[in-house]
Structure 1
Amino acid sequence: MKRTLRQHAGSTVAPVGRGEEREQLDSYSKLVRDRVPEIIRAAGAKPITYIAGPEEYRSRLRDKLSEEVAEFLAADEATAVDELADVLEVVYALAEDLGVDSGGLEGIRLAKARERGSFTNRVVWSGNH
């Protein structure tokens, strides 16, 4: 049975199936921010999108974190803060997916900082004697 693309809210929605069609989509698909399809439509194109299920979403968030960290590491000083904000957006989405909101994540971070410190003092460990 051949699946066809369908229209939904101004986007072309790809079938979420198995096999060759899904492989073709996955070869160039990635998780994007919620408003990206709207921005693409405003530019005159018709995005092909679908909504990821829970397991795929978690996997794609991890991929997105790697992508955003790589962009941060490659950024110059002028763009580093913007790239870091993108990393933080993905971290918040991952935390929410794990059942923790940004306040809860901050609480965990503060508890760890109290217990083990932060990076304020710029300490570099190079082994033991």
Structure 2
Amino acid sequence: MKMYDKAVRDGIPDIIRAEGKRCVVEQVSDDEFLGYMESKLFEELNEYTETKSAEELADLLEVIYRVAELRQTGRDELEMIRKKKSETRGGFKENLILVSAEE
């Protein structure tokens, strides 16, 4: 049996079992799961970097939403924070690259 020790979506164990395979899963506390999900951020970012697919971007969002939730910030609050920051500091729509700035 291959060892993983990583966070997976809730339906993954059922999918593995439906394929006639065995798997061992463990349910952990929110505090412990947060560490796994923060590692999952990097995994999903790397997958997006390799594939550039919308599916991987969606996976990244799903992980971000769960990390925010585990840190007591809901999707609505996260979106409000994003909008406020965009209003005060701007977004990324103008494709600006800072080349130099006076210190």
TM-score, length basis structure 2: 0.91
| Separation in structure 1 between the aligned mates of residue 89 and residue 24 of structure 2, nearest angstrom | 46
Residue 88 in structure 1 maps to residue 61 in structure 2:
yes
1:69 is aligned, of 27, 42, 45, to 45
1:42 is aligned, of 1, 14, 18, to 18
1:125 positional shift: 0.3
Which structure 2 segments of 5+ residues have no match? none
Residue 128 in structure 1 maps to residue 88 in structure 2:
no
Which structure 1 segments of 5+ residues have no match? 1-26
2:7 is aligned, of 6, 13, 31, to 31
Identity %: 35
Please give the secondary structure, in 2, of the residue aligned with 1:29: coil
Q: What is the root-mean-square deviation in Å for CA atoms of aligned residues?
A: 1.2
1:12-40 deviation per Cα after TM superposition (whole angstroms, max 9, x unaligned): xxxxxxxxxxxxxxx63110000000111
Moved over 4 A (4+): none
- Structure index of larger Rg: 1
1:55-109 deviation per Cα after TM superposition (whole angstroms, max 9, x unaligned): 3201100110000000000114xxx110000000000000100111111110000
Please give the secondary structure, in 2, of the residue aligned with 1:48: coil
| Structure number with higher strand proportion | 1
The structure showing larger relative contact order (alpha-carbon pairs under 8 Å, at least 6 residues apart) is 2
TM-score, length basis structure 1: 0.74
